[in-house]
Amino acid sequence: MRNFNEFTITDAVLDRLDGAKTARIREISAALVRHLHAFVREIEPTFEEWESGIDFLTRTGHLCDDKRQEFILLSDALGVSMLVDAINHRASDETTETTVLGPFFVQHAPEYALGADISSDVEGEPLLISGSVSDGHGKPLPGATVDIWHSDSDGYYDAQRPEAIDDLAMRGRFHADQSGRFWCWSIKPAAYPIPHDGPVGQMLDAQGRHPWRPAHVHFLITAPGYEKLVTHIFAADDRYLDSDVVFGVKDSLVREFRQSPAGKAMDGRELARPYFTLEHDFRLRQIRSETKRELSRKLAEL
């Protein structure tokens, strides 16, 4: 076939997908072609607008490295990351709700003993983070791995801070005790803007949107036989809860960062100044043997 026009080009591209290696590749490719062509038909871009779009994607790719992932920021800011998360966590039960991973997770964070201070001497108001890990019925999960990370009191993550830090800061990995409990010390995080000095920031500005996220602490929790939990706990008094730039806030994940007077904390530590506490109990969902969607996919590829 040849001599395609705006009415025949889509079907022609779809016809050429018949030789796809798997049914899933054919399904995804066909959906991409249909929706992308429909998008182009709806907006009817000029050549200049089309070239501007290509340039935007090119500049987005050029900003990606081992410390910054501009494409994750783009996905987050367009709500796609939370949509993918919602699709993959449709079950409604008593387990903890999920939210986006974010671009500042580190695969191999330093491991600490329970009660350690992960602030690495970064200045800020002391914060005692504590909680428990259990299954959907409240049964403790001893030894569960708990990754914690967050920004500092100025809204910077360790990799972003203007002054150099020798080691990773405000992040660490812990293992829950025999009762499924964990705790550590750090500093109180602040609201912060996602990096907005690149293409994603320019997009937000053009859309009339701010780049801010409400103050929160990240958690990634795993235990054998249970689904990985990626979530945040947000500060209840933050001004950006209803306009989070990445659409990640859920009511069940909002908690008060309670201020306590100087004195002995629950873990026995003596503090000479007031400090904050954040406590939350996390419930993990048991891994199901196979979801209906996975089963249907396998059958389609036979």
Instruction: Indicate the fold that domain 80-284 takes in CATH.
Output: Protocatechuate 3,4-Dioxygenase, subunit A (2.60.130)
Over the stretch 107-154, which tens digit does the pLDDT of each residue have?
889 999 999 999 988 999 999 999 999 999 999 999 999 999 999 999
Q: 109 with 172: CB under 8 angstroms?
A: yes
DSSP 115-145: T-B-STT--S-EEEEEEEEEETTS-B-TT-E
Rounded CA-CA distance 280/131 in Å is 5
Tokens of 265: 């904390």
Q: What is the pLDDT of residue 262?
A: 96
Q: How far apart are CA 215 and CA 157, in angstroms?
A: 12
- Sketch the domain layout of the chain as residue ranges: 80-284
pLDDT of residue 173: 97
Structure tokens at 228: 């990985």
What local confidence, expressed as pLDDT, does residue 168 receive?
86
Token duo for residue 140: 């403790």
pTM value is: 0.88
What's the pLDDT score for residue 296?
Answer: 60
As a whole number of angstroms, the distance between CA 216 and CA 151 comes to 8
**pLDDT for 228:** 96
Could you tell me the strand order of the sheet in which 254-255 lies?
Answer: 171-175, 145-150, 216-222, 229-235, 254-255
Distance CA 225, CA 103 (A): 26
Give yes or no for a contact between 190 and 215, defined as CB atoms under 8 angstroms apart.
Answer: yes
Low-confidence residues in the chain, pLDDT < 70:
1, 162-166, 289-302
φ, ψ at 53 (rounded to 5°): -65, -45
* pLDDT score at 297: 64
Given this model, what pLDDT does residue 293 score? 59
- What per-residue confidence (pLDDT) applies to 15? 96
Report the distance separating Cα 138 and Cα 19, nearest Å: 49
Angle, to 10 degrees, between the axis of helix 292-300 and the axis of helix 23-43? 100
Q: Which residues pair with 278 in a beta bridge?
A: 129
Grouping H, G, I as helix, E, B as strand and the rest as coil, residue 216 is: strand
